Amino acid sequence: MSEPKLRVENINKKYGKTIILEDISFDINPGEFVSILGSSGCGKTTLLKIIAGIETSDSGKILKDGEDITFSLPSNRGTGLVFQNYALFPNMNVRKNVSFALECRHLPKDEVAKRVADALRMVGMIDYASKKPGHLSGGQQQRVAIARTLAINADIMLFDEPMAALDAEIRMSLRNEIKRIQKETNKTMIYVTHDQEEAFSLSDRIIVLNDSQIAQFDTPKNIFCSPADEYVKRFVVDQLKDRAAVMLKETKQ
């Protein structure tokens, strides 16, 4: 078996006396799409930020391709984070937003131009390169944020509820785009969400977090057919069944 792309070992995190993450351990394989699913406050965004290096754990290790990156700077981890609120520079056009991190690394201008163009083409935003974020829809801004991560050649892409602020139709379209990009690039992707349907439609495997711990880490099929405990059954399986019943009722009307 090949070495894991990412290994998380015994991560613990507290804010004051409040336990946020408790003894979190898992492996993610190269090219795998893994969602971290859980209700608000369960620690999923904190876990993602620890992987990205923008927060520190109290104990434990993060290994990437077998290398300990626990104390590495975010820029040296080979990871890219797509935020919920896009985090674009409003005073810069699309092209500049995508090229900014590359220019900070002092890459040759022709390489920067090629990377930016390739990334914008992949997300369907090349025709909007001269526009500023304020002239784009929410879905378009999120595509630019994804292009920015693609341009830096991050081999692990991290998503922090990237569709939470978008309406249903745009969410569905962007969901398909993210899955297409993952298949075309074979990048490892870790996706934080509280949406059960989103996690099931995108993921090879799903980490279900509950009360700072992993309740289950398995394939969507196994989680649905064999929930590990009552929380997984209630939060994941029953919710999906309820949605399916509503959708079936709506199609009959």
The top-scoring range by mean pLDDT among 84-88, 151-155, 229-233, 241-245 is 229-233
* This prediction's pTM: 0.92
Do the domain assignments include residue 242? no
Q: Would you state the pLDDT for residue 115?
A: 96
Q: Would you state the pLDDT for residue 165?
A: 79
| Number of domains composing the chain | 2
* Residue 143: half-sphere exposure toward Cβ, Cα within 13 Å: 27
Domain match, 220 and 174 both: yes
Domain match, 62 and 118 both: no
Domain match, 63 and 10 both: yes
Range of the domain at 27: 1-78+155-224
Domain match, 107 and 125 both: yes
Q: Would you state the pLDDT for residue 12?
A: 98
CATH number at residue 162: 3.40.50.300
Please give the C-alpha separations between residue 21 and each of 42, 160, 212, 214, 215, in angstroms, as whole numbers.
Answer: 8, 17, 4, 9, 12
Write down which residue in 153, 172, 196 finishes a domain.
153
Do the domain assignments include residue 59? yes
CA distance 97 to 101: 8
Question: Under a CB-based contact definition with an 8 Å cutoff, are residues 77 and 64 in contact?
Answer: yes
Using pLDDT thresholds of 50, 70 and 90, give the confidence band for residue 251.
Answer: low
Write down which residue in 133, 153, 173 finishes a domain.
153
Say whether 62 sits in a helix, a strand or coil. Answer: strand
Write down which residue in 123, 153, 183 finishes a domain.
153
Domain match, 102 and 175 both: no
Domain match, 8 and 68 both: yes
Domain match, 165 and 142 both: no
pLDDT tens-digit series, residues 13-55: 999 999 999 999 999 999 999 999 999 889 999 999 999 999 9
| Mean pLDDT along residues 209-215 | 95
Q: Would you state the pLDDT for residue 144?
A: 96
CA distance 117 to 127: 10
Cα dihedral across residues 46, 49, 54, 60: positive or negative: positive
Domain match, 61 and 175 both: yes
Q: Would you state the pLDDT for residue 247?
A: 59
Strand order in the sheet with 79-82: 79-82, 156-160, 188-193, 33-37, 205-210, 213-218
Structure tokens at 239: 């919710």
Residue environment code for 47-73, b if the CB has 16+ CB neighbours within 10 A, otherwise e: bbbbbbbeeebeebebbbeeeebbeee
